[in-house]
């Protein structure tokens, strides 16, 4: 029997941004229904890999650890709603060139390990509210939040009765 683990590459916010996002999620949940995501779960998914066989994980860990140092910023100024999964999210009016470049380079590296990039365009966002019955009352996030990112992480998602729990398997922090 093959053992697999649910993996993705992500960026995590700094503590200040995480607190601001958590406060926004609390505020929005009262307007949109649903429940705010826990602050510790807020992230940008760059590459969702799904269930990965245990034998393929070591090269992914090495990829994360060897990734060049990052230094970028993303401005979150937009709120959106994915009706089908019922998620309210924060993102940007204009795409962040730094994030788009990072995503493209990551998928190029992942292709060398047999992973295929999704066919849809990358839309960086942070999920704030799950099970949302309706969209946010406004489309702008005011005031905008600046998210400085400096490391890439390979993360395992473990599902249980309490929802998703994330565990960082590797990152590129010295």
Catalytic residue numbers, as ranges: 43, 125
The residue assigned the tokens 């890439």 is: 152
DSSP reduced 3-state for 148 = strand
Encoding tokens for residue 46? 């760059």
Q: How far apart are CA 170 and CA 105, in angstroms?
A: 18
Task: Choose among 72, 95, 90: nearest CA to 132.
Answer: 90
| Exposure b/e, 12-35, CB count within 10 A at least 16 = b | bbeeebbebbbebbeebbebbebe
């Amino acid at each position: 029997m093959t053992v697999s683990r649910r993996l993705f590459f992500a960026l995590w916010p700094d503590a200040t941004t995480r607190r601001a996002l958590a406060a926004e999620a609390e505020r929005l949940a009262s307007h949109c229904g649903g429940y705010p995501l826990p602050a510790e779960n807020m992230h940008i998914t760059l590459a969702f890999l799904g269930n990965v066989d245990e034998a393929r994980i070591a090269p992914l860990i090495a990829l994360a650890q060897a990734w060049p140092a990052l230094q970028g910023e993303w401005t979150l100024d937009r709120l959106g709603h994915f009706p089908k999964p019922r998620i309210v999210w924060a993102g940007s009016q204009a795409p962040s060139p730094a994030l788009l470049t990072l995503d493209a380079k990551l998928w190029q590296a992942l292709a060398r390990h047999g992973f295929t990039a999704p066919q849809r365009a990358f839309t960086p966002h942070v999920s704030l509210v799950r099970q949302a019955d309706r969209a946010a009352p406004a489309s702008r996030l005011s005031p905008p939040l600046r998210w400085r990112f400096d490391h890439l992480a390979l993360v395992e998602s473990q599902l249980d009765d309490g929802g998703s729990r994330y565990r960082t398997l590797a990152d590129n922090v010295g």
